[in-house]
Amino acid sequence: MMSAAEFPFSRREWRAVWRASRAVTNATLADDRVLRSSHFAELQRVLEDLRVARGDHPILLETEADFSDENVAARSLYLKAIELALRLGLPTYTARISLARLLLDAFGMTADAHLQLLACRDEVGAAADDSEQKQWRALMDRASCVPDDTRGRVNWTAEPAQPAESALPLDRDGAVKAR
């Protein structure tokens, strides 16, 4: 369960975010770009209202990034969410996992994605649920590297030198063990 610092919003406040984000999702699924844009603007307004009422919070930045269809803006929002979370002493792993996925899928930035995943390895092991741990491992597999001895550089490939799961302590079922 999250503490009040980790999630300071009331059910009523977060219900407004959920409704606005659901509307963006539905418009996206309907492939209606005009409606999606309108609903995304409403989501941004809801998030801004919460910023004004409660102050800035990483989850507000991360939520906006999650629904942004502008990759550069989303990357910037995830980085700001991570920076703010670090300043506030809050977990960063959800933003780092999302950022790593964006870095891989939209930018082909394997090394940067790998670094983001390494930076949240301990948090994932201690606090992530099974689904988040699986996402982390799948992304780590995609972002693993193999040294290229012939050129003295790192050759980033989809084929890791060793299983990426070895970066975290795993139980028999492949779930990350808490430290």
Tell me the one-letter amino acid at 111: A
Q: What per-residue confidence (pLDDT) applies to 92?
A: 97
Q: What per-residue confidence (pLDDT) applies to 177?
A: 53
Q: What per-residue confidence (pLDDT) applies to 60?
A: 98
State both tokens at 112.
Answer: 């940067």
How do residues 91-117 score in pLDDT, each as one tens digit? 999 999 999 999 999 999 999 999 999
State both tokens at 37.
Answer: 């844009």
Regions in the chain scoring below 50 on pLDDT: 146-170, 172-176, 179
Burial of 43 per CB tally in 10 Å (0-12, 13-18, 19+): buried
DSSP 155: E
Q: What per-residue confidence (pLDDT) applies to 7?
A: 82
Work out the number of other CB atoms within 10 angstroms of the CB of residue 149.
8
Separation of CA 43 from chain center: 18
Compute the distance between CA of residue 79 and CA of residue 19 in angstroms, rounded to an integer: 25
